[in-house]
A and B are shown apart, each in its own frame.
Chain A
Amino acid sequence: MVKNFLDKIRPHFEEGGKLKSFRSVFDGMETFLLVPNTTSRVGVSIHDAIDSKRIMSFVVIALLPALLVGMYNIGYQNYTAAGVEAGFLEMFAYGFAVTLPKIIVSYLVGLGIEFIVAQWKKEEIQEGYLVTGLIIPMIVPVGCPLWMLALAVAFSVIFAKEIFGGTGMNIFNPALVARAFLFFAYPTMMSGESVWVSTEPFLGLGNQLPDGFTMATPLGLAGSGVEVTTSMTDMFTGLMPGSIGETSVIAIAIGAAILLWTRIASWKTMLSVFVGGALVGLLFQSCDMTPLTWYEHILLGGFCFGAVFMATDPVTSARTEGGKYIYGFLIGALAIAIRVLNPGYPEGMMLAILFMNMFAPLIDYSFVQSNINKRAKRAIK
């Protein structure tokens, strides 16, 4: 049925049709809905049953549990702070209503720019933004205004992605660049104590909280030397203040299982991030430099989310098998080190991943070169 419809409207979009300028939009929608039946005409290549659009759909599915729990958590935080009793559905509906505009804005701006660039350069639409567009709303605090989000999305799509040649060419993870832009440009709206709980009613749901209501994240508290009282259960289920999608460890674990089962994410990278974080956390804990234990460090903040969804990004991570261990280990280690050693940044995952994105090509290069050298030596003998 979908195919018939697409075939019927196709002539309008081809050369000479009246909607020619929307060709890229049509093309994008067609290949998104149906598996394209064109294959490469030159060279020998092995084709998998899934192409990159299908991969992206799996990542989106893997992100959904964390997003849904995040939505519920927004409602939970709001109703708890107001001291109002409410059912599960009401809380979820409020969170959904608050989050949906952010997702829509992120997709509208990001895909808009991608469509314009694709049309301009007469290329196909790249599908990479499907995942980025969902991750960006999930890694910002709920109090982030929509116009800032739109600005950050535009900045990251243009300067972190299109400038390097679009999907698959970028050095830095675009979602993290968007967050870094917000973090440095609008520090008051991205960190601190007043942005983590939604304070206004929306569409008749939720409660108005008093002006100046503050609620710090557990990591923020630990950074300022206050004792953290969040219980272990809350850390696992995610019922604590934080960025929208990063709080629930269980939901992220479901996503991780999907990614690993479909082999989209590399277990080597993921595992070594956790190992690096745990070891450095243990080190700081034994030196008494942090009030948190090593496992609390891993459970809190964006550590899990970063390790599962951002460090394993196939474009920006190291690609050599050995390099993945080093890349992942250093991300985990740096993230905890930044958290503990730099009082200005209670959260270090974003900076750690961006930093290692920069070094991924170097790691790959060293591994490839050392392999070449080894083999050359063997050949000489």
Chain B
Amino acid sequence: MSKLFSKENREVFANPLNLDNPVTVQVLGICSALAVTAQLEPALVMGLSVTVITAFANVIISLLRKTVPNRIRIIVQLVVVATLVTLVSQILKAFAYDVSVQLSVYVGLIITNCILMGRLEAFAMQNGPWESFLDGVGSGLGYAWILVAVGFVRELFGAGTLLGMRIIPESMYVENGGWYVNNGMMTMPAMAMILVGCIIWAHRAYNDRKASKQ
């Protein structure tokens, strides 16, 4: 048991959350991060879907890594990822239809998500299944927390709600005699770009400060 959670393995899991974050450091998966984060709920579901798919694709490829001929490895990886994506897509359609409609093509486009192929090529092809699983979960969660952070700000200021619940009271709005107006810019992908930029900014400033202290 202690070996399963050794220092190296914990690092494999924790690095993508912070120092090696797929979105803010490797700058991968930006397209979907801008497209699905107008509200918090699709952002959450998207983050979870990518986490699940990355984790299991990593495990499967890691198990197959010694039998797959090197020249066709990309095809094998794609088949595995496409299978998992189809499974997740069907599950979403069955149990969370509204969200799957909101996500539309972006669930299918997880197949082409650079984070997935990057992890498979860079990690799962060289490491054992347990390490690969940890790496996949870590990378997926690293992607997910950025999406949730962006989605949180965008839904709060763009619609005044969180997960569909009203946070900014109705009486504050101009239509009801108040002074507040929703920020329409927040519902546009352009603002998501700026928000991701802000997160990268804060993230770098934080890590630089920590590094200079050591």
Contact = CB atoms under 8 A, between A and B. Distances in A.
A186 interface: yes
B194 A185 contact: no
B179 A181 contact: no
A355 to B, nearest CB: 14
A188 interface: yes
A74 interface: no
Interface in A233-264: none
Nearest to A146: B179
A210 to B, nearest CB: 16
Contact of B183 (A145, A159, A185): A185
Interface stretch (B8-16, B82-90, B159-167, B184-192): B184-192
Contacts of A159: 194
B181 interface: yes
Interface in B149-206: 174, 179, 181, 183-186, 188, 190, 194
A189 interface: yes
A176 to B, nearest CB: 15
A145 B186 CA distance: 19
Interface in A166-224: 181, 184-189
A159 B190 CA distance: 13
A147 interface: yes
Nearest to A152: B185
A97 interface: no
B158 to A, nearest CB: 9
A184 B185 contact: yes
Contact of B184 (A145, A147, A184): A184
A184 B188 contact: yes
Contacts, number: 20
Interface string A130-157: 0000000000000001011000000000
Interface size, B (range)? 10 to 19
Nearest to A181: B185
Contact of A188 (B179, B181, B185, B186): B181
Interface in B119-171: none
B184 A187 contact: yes
Nearest to A159: B194
A186 B186 CA distance: 10
B179 A186 contact: no
A174 to B, nearest CB: 15
A147 B179 contact: yes
Contacts of A184: 184-185, 188, 190
A186 B194 contact: no
B181 A148 contact: yes
Interface in B36-79: none
Contacts of A188: 174, 181
Nearest to A185: B185
Contacts of A145: 179
A189 B183 CA distance: 11
Contacts of B181: 148, 186, 188-189
B159 to A, nearest CB: 13
A159 B181 CA distance: 22
A188 B184 CA distance: 10
A17 to B, nearest CB: 28
Contacts of A185: 183-186
Interface of B: 174, 179, 181, 183-186, 188, 190, 194
Interface of A: 145, 147-148, 159, 181, 184-189
Going nearest first, the 9 A-B pairs with the smallest beta carbon separation are A185-B185, A185-B183, A184-B185, A185-B184, A186-B181, A187-B184, A184-B184, A189-B181, A181-B185
Given A181-B185, A184-B184, A186-B181, 8 more contacts: A145-B179, A184-B185, A184-B188, A185-B184, A185-B185, A185-B186, A186-B184, A188-B181
12 contacts: A147-B179, A159-B194, A181-B185, A184-B188, A184-B190, A185-B183, A185-B184, A185-B185, A185-B186, A186-B181, A186-B184, A188-B174
